[in-house]
Amino acid sequence: MSEHERVDEERGPKPDPMSRSRFLNILLGTGAGGLAAAVIYPVGRYIVPPEAPEAAANSVVLSLKPADVPPNTGQIFKFGAKPGILVRTPGGELRAFSAVCTHLDCTVQYRDDLSHIWCACHNGHFDLSGRNIAGPPPSPLVQFDVFEREDAIVVSRKS
Ligand code: FES
Average pLDDT over residues 95-116: 97
Of residues 20 and 148, which shows the higher confidence score?
A: 148
Q: Cβ(60) to ligand 1 under 6 A?
A: no
For residue 122, report the distance from its CA to the centre of ligand 1, in Å: 5
Q: Cβ(104) to ligand 1 under 6 A?
A: yes
For residue 6, is pLDDT > 80?
Answer: no
pLDDT tens digits along 58-90: 999 998 888 899 999 999 999 999 999 999 999
For a mutational test of ligand 1's pocket, the pick from 97, 118, 119, 125, i.e. the residue with the most ligand atoms closer than 8 A to its C-beta, is 119
Please give the mean pLDDT across all residues of the chain: 87
pLDDT value, residue 11: 66
Distance from C-alpha of 110 to C-alpha of 100, rounded to nearest angstrom = 13
Q: Reading across the β-sheet that carries 82-88, which strands appear in turn? A: 59-62, 153-157, 143-148, 94-98, 82-88, 73-79
Q: How confident is the model at residue 155 (pLDDT cuts 50, 70, 90)?
A: very high
For residue 135, report the distance from its CA to the centre of ligand 1, in Å: 8
The residue type found at 71 is P
Average pLDDT over residues 112-131: 97
Classified as helix, coil or strand, 73 is strand
Q: Cβ(121) to ligand 1 under 6 A?
A: yes
pLDDT value, residue 53: 53
For residue 55, is pLDDT > 60?
Answer: no
The residue type found at 159 is S
| Cα–Cα nearest to 148, from 77, 89, 69 | 69
